[in-house]
Chain A
């Protein structure tokens, strides 16, 4: 169980020496309790206290870096069950399965798909993060050959080496030295051998309960015993698979794992979860993937990565991993809606993403091509931004002038949201030669408003 600030305070030297950068030991203890500072900042704390604190202050879900370099993925560190309590920390990774039974050409083309999967959405670059190479052939030579293709063509993509046979795992992992791969497939039969390989090659170890292979399985109980055993063999970086494959099992196991880690500080399950979502029907696979995104998976393995499916899953991950305390923002600029002409209307609103989506959606519904000036108001909605002094006449006038829209349109009329009708005179004063028109208060009035003007 995590310690409270006062409990931590009792373990500190209580000298108020300020060497940690905080005014008092108590203030430092409070920061430690909130996980906003590290005990290493205190030079005088005893080793005993450090160990106690280290154990208690370790994040409930162990942080793990998967892969190396620019494409490395951070996992774990989660602190909540519900995103409205606090932001979900590390977005889950999507991995494409590549079976070693495929031909060299097929393996290469799947790698290409992964490499070309990157798209941009609302200012973020999103992609399929990893490859899961599967020893489907149960043949060591074949697995090694497939791994060579992956190592050559996707050298910077994080790799999950899926093999239950330690010989196959070792043959493949040799090709990814210093790349922080995951070796998936440690179970109660091969735990020692797999742990040794993971240790030798500094890989993260993927641990699986026997039910993952269709056995009767001990599920989470067996998994806990296994991770403890593997930890005692010197492996710290672990990802876990309870064996859940059906939608209902994924929700149950992932929920119990996250709860045990966060509410009970149960260390044997305090690791990132890997979910195998592969299905014959790609739309169903998208939905199983969506369950993984919402319900606590850190890695989701897919059998196919069609562009439409990627777009939907990337968007969902982006949605659910945004910070609920920080409004989502869109870029400040003049957006074209439909194919506007120099005489098309120009409307202005703020850059809160929801405001933008609703306003642009209603303009689209009106079927009147328009320009929409979206002004940076730190992600506040119109009324809030106005009240906070971020959507003022002076700022609006400056934005319009600097946006260059005067070169795009031939008229000089700006439609402002009805909620800030009060600004119309002041904007007109500051924007010489412009006419300010007050639009509807609510976005759903936009279609009628624009259509009546066009008529």
Chain B
């Protein structure tokens, strides 16, 4: 499997990622997300900013897929994920809160973007996107 560490450019947040989830009833959901945080060689964190369908789906079905783009090479990557837990404090949360604040500031969404939790996911696979 491609090492997560080698995708450092993808985690800069220059090009938004896409999060795909699915409800227990089998309804898929797709959402653009502002940031994917590298945690360690086997985990990433996604920002939880609003109570939305993605969050509801993950609470009942932990399977998720994230598509990332490396802004340096244009190569896309597909991460298959499994939700582990949410953190509302600690170093990962603090790093993400700062990043979200910066994104909100330059995208004119200050006061709307606010980190509520860092959702921690196990990375099951890393796949190169075909197109």
Whether A and B are associated in the same complex: the answer reads no
